[in-house]
Amino acid sequence: MKLVTREEMRELDRRTIEEIGILGLVLMENAGRGTAQIIKKKFEPEKKKVAIFCGKGNNGGDGLVVARYLKNWGWSVKVYLLSEKEKITGDAKVNLEVWLKMGGELKEIISAEDLHSIKEEIERFDLIVDALLGTGLKDEVKGISKEAIQLINALGKPVIALDVPSGIDATSGRVLGVAVKATLTATFGLPKIGLLIHPGLEYTGELFVVDISIPQVLVEEMNLKHTLLDPQELDLSPLKPRPLDTHKMTYGHLLIIAGSVGKTGAAAMAGEAALKMGTGLVTLGVPKSLNPILEVKLTEVMTYPLSDKEGVFSEEALKEVLEILPAKSALAIGPGIGTEGGAKRLTLELLKLSQVPILIDADGINCLVGELEVLKSKKAPVILTPHPGEMARLLGITSKEVQTQRIELSREFAEKYGVILVLKGSRTVIAEPGGRVFINPTGNPGMASGGTGDILTGMIGGLLAQGMNPLEAAKLGVYLHGLSGDLAKEERGEVCLVATDLLKYLPQAIREVLKGDVAHIKQEPQ
């Protein structure tokens, strides 16, 4: 599903009105009617008392349409207008006049005193509709709008936000001083990026998209760069039934360079995840002195002992890897390898010399710190899968800076170095060299534990080994990884969730994706 920035949505609205000829009043009517239908569906059979807070712009106009429909359906509705009636203009003015002519209740809120005077009255309402500020907001919320938002949040009532919760930046998701904490957000036309990334995600609640008649031809012409991963749009070919006459070599051979003293578990989990993802053969290249441990840990995964010194890869390991690499279909390097001994040289040289697609994770990424230009010497596609701390080390900035610019930094890195960048975390971001960015809706805080990244390495690496397009492998691997975690959370909870649980729930995740009934953003009820 395509996502839009504030500016992109404004342009779609403009072109719909000016080029296609659909009136702004029609868009407003569709937005308000669709939202009213959502409210009706969610909160009936009992008709509720609804307070609608309207600003003076188009968002307030949308709220007035919601008020009209709910009143016509027999609901008790009162509008609180944060403006003098005479200052309302355009399409919002038309809907204000309609509301008044049909006998709708309205109170102007001009001052803090006005707001204070309604506190007791507001307590008697069942639902609050936030139609204050909308997507156009860029600056910090101040004055009466700020106080109204604080009042709404203090009520503890269910809140329905129109388009975006007031106070949230529609593009970045930043809180502009203060923001409405919505129970449900009905966004118009297309989802706004800021609703799906932090911190905006925490204020959005349940997200619905309302069709307001933006022509699909305009959406396609806009060449939108942001997409929410949707199982219906993923390449699911590796998950589908296989021909009867295939054999293990049909499904690739992944070589994983992993492990060091104290980190054999990282290697084992990556190898098992690759097999679970359907890879025909998986070989773990591990430090020779640790090979007996992996032989005991693993059954289906093969091991290949590599030269080491005290449990860490030595310089001689590079030659040994290069001897076996031509027979493999993909390479993953990094889980638990450390950065000492020959690990750094091994990573950098394989990056330059490998003819097969490479995934670099964990310590493999740490080995690239200060050496990023080597990425421009690659001969094969490269996927990097850093968490925020690793990304911060690569860029020489703080993790906090990474977290506040996840999309921008991922896109810039992917474009500059010609790689696929998977920035892990809540709402994992996938960026590709052409500037497109994909946001993953799956996953949960229970996955913030050691080893889940190693599982992801194996899953994406396994898809690469099967010959999947690197970008599609990253998208599918990330989505299934998060969905497996979500399924594990349902039965085990977040606190008790561990990395290997993801492998137990991966088969169920695959079945759900193939059924095609997973939806992360709801459509308005018809």
Residue 242 lies in a domain: no
Residue 42 lies in a domain: yes
Q: Looking at the structure, do residues 361 and 450 belong to the same domain, yes or no?
A: yes
Residue 2 parent element (H or E) = strand 2-3
Q: What is the reported pLDDT for 44?
A: 84
Q: What is the pTM of this model?
A: 0.95
Q: Looking at the structure, do residues 275 and 368 belong to the same domain, yes or no?
A: yes
Q: Which domain holds residue 387?
A: 231-236+249-523
DSSP line for 334-351: -TT--SSTTHHHHHHHHH
Q: Looking at the structure, do residues 175 and 137 belong to the same domain, yes or no?
A: yes
Helices (H) and strands (E) in the chain, counts: 20, 21
Q: Looking at the structure, do residues 157 and 259 belong to the same domain, yes or no?
A: no
Residue 303 lies in a domain: yes
Q: Looking at the structure, do residues 158 and 208 belong to the same domain, yes or no?
A: yes
Q: Looking at the structure, do residues 254 and 191 belong to the same domain, yes or no?
A: no
- What are the DSSP E strand ranges found in 125-275? 127-131, 159-162, 184-188, 206-210, 226-228, 253-257
The per-residue pLDDT string of the chain (526 residues; one tens digit each, 9 = 90 and over) reads 999 999 999 999 999 999 999 999 999 999 999 999 999 999 987 888 999 999 999 999 999 999 999 999 999 999 999 999 999 999 999 999 999 999 999 999 999 999 999 999 999 999 999 999 999 999 999 999 999 999 999 999 999 999 999 999 999 999 999 999 999 999 999 999 999 999 999 999 999 999 999 999 999 999 999 999 999 999 999 999 999 999 999 999 999 999 999 999 999 999 999 999 999 999 999 999 999 999 999 999 999 999 999 999 999 999 999 999 999 999 999 999 999 999 999 999 999 999 999 999 999 999 999 999 999 999 999 999 999 999 999 999 999 999 999 999 999 999 999 999 999 999 999 999 999 999 999 999 999 999 999 999 999 999 999 999 999 999 999 999 999 999 999 999 999 999 999 999 999 999 999 998 788 888 877 5
Report the CATH number that the domain containing residue 12 is assigned in CATH: 3.40.50.10260
Number of domains in the chain: 2
Residue 270 lies in a domain: yes
Distance CA 508, CA 489 (A): 13
Q: Looking at the structure, do residues 403 and 298 belong to the same domain, yes or no?
A: yes
Q: Looking at the structure, do residues 153 and 273 belong to the same domain, yes or no?
A: no
Q: What is the reported pLDDT for 46?
A: 80
Q: What is the reported pLDDT for 519?
A: 82
In sequence order, the β-bridge partners of residue 313 are: 308
Q: Looking at the structure, do residues 362 and 420 belong to the same domain, yes or no?
A: yes
DSSP line for 261-329: TT-HHHHHHHHHHHHHTT-SEEEEEEEGGGHHHHHHH-SSSEEEEE-EETTEE-TTHHHHHHHHGGG-S
Q: Looking at the structure, do residues 253 and 396 belong to the same domain, yes or no?
A: yes
Q: What is the reported pLDDT for 526?
A: 57
Residue 243 lies in a domain: no
Residue 104 lies in a domain: yes
Q: Looking at the structure, do residues 263 and 213 belong to the same domain, yes or no?
A: no
> What are φ and ψ of residue 181, in 5° steps?
-95, 95
Report the CATH number that the domain containing residue 428 is assigned in CATH: 3.40.1190.20
Q: What is the reported pLDDT for 201?
A: 97
- What are the DSSP E strand ranges found in 375-474? 382-384, 420-423, 429-431, 437-439
Q: Looking at the structure, do residues 312 and 207 belong to the same domain, yes or no?
A: no
Residue 383 lies in a domain: yes
Q: Edge to edge, what strands does the sheet with 437-439 contain?
A: 2-3, 226-228, 437-439, 429-431, 420-423, 382-384, 358-360, 330-333, 253-257, 281-287, 302-306
Residue 241 lies in a domain: no
